């Protein structure tokens, strides 16, 4: 499925289903191992869904393309923590 199709599927979920899916994706997120993330004091994850970090400002490499969520959701962008969510970067 493309990212857009995944977003459409998620928009049809009940709030409970969506929450469960977001929880599942958060467990898969590898941002905590990323050079841009480490040492910043950021605690949040899943920027591809939630959008920019309020803390991370400096880009030191992005490991998103190696993340299972990237594959799973059909994501095609990077630096979600500084550039914005998948939806924002896809313009949808």
The piece of 7-15, 16-24, 62-70 that touches ligand SF4 (CB under 6 A) is 62-70
Question: Which has the closest alpha carbon to 56: 74, 20, 22, 81?
Answer: 81
Burial of 14 (0-12, 13-18, 19+ CB in 10 A): exposed
The piece of 3-11, 14-22, 43-51 that touches ligand SF4 (CB under 6 A) is 43-51
79 binds ligand SF4, rule: CB under 6 A = yes
What's the CA dihedral at 40, 45, 48, 50 to 10 degrees?
Answer: -100
77 binds ligand SF4, rule: CB under 6 A = no
What's the DSSP call for residue 67?
S
Binder to ligand SF4 among 63, 74, 87, 88 (CB under 6 A)? 63
- Nearest-approach distance from CB 8 to ligand SF4, in angstroms: 18
């Amino acid at each position: 499925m493309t990212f857009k199709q995944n977003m459409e599927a998620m928009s049809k979920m009940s709030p409970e289903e969506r929450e469960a899916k977001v929880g599942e994706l958060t467990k898969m997120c590898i941002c905590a191992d990323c050079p841009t993330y480490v040492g910043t004091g950021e605690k949040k994850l899943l920027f591809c869904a939630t959008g920019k970090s309020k803390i991370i400002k400096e880009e030191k490499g992005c490991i998103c393309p190696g993340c299972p969520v990237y594959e799973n959701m059909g994501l095609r962008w990077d630096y979600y923590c500084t550039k914005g969510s998948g939806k924002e970067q896809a313009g949808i």
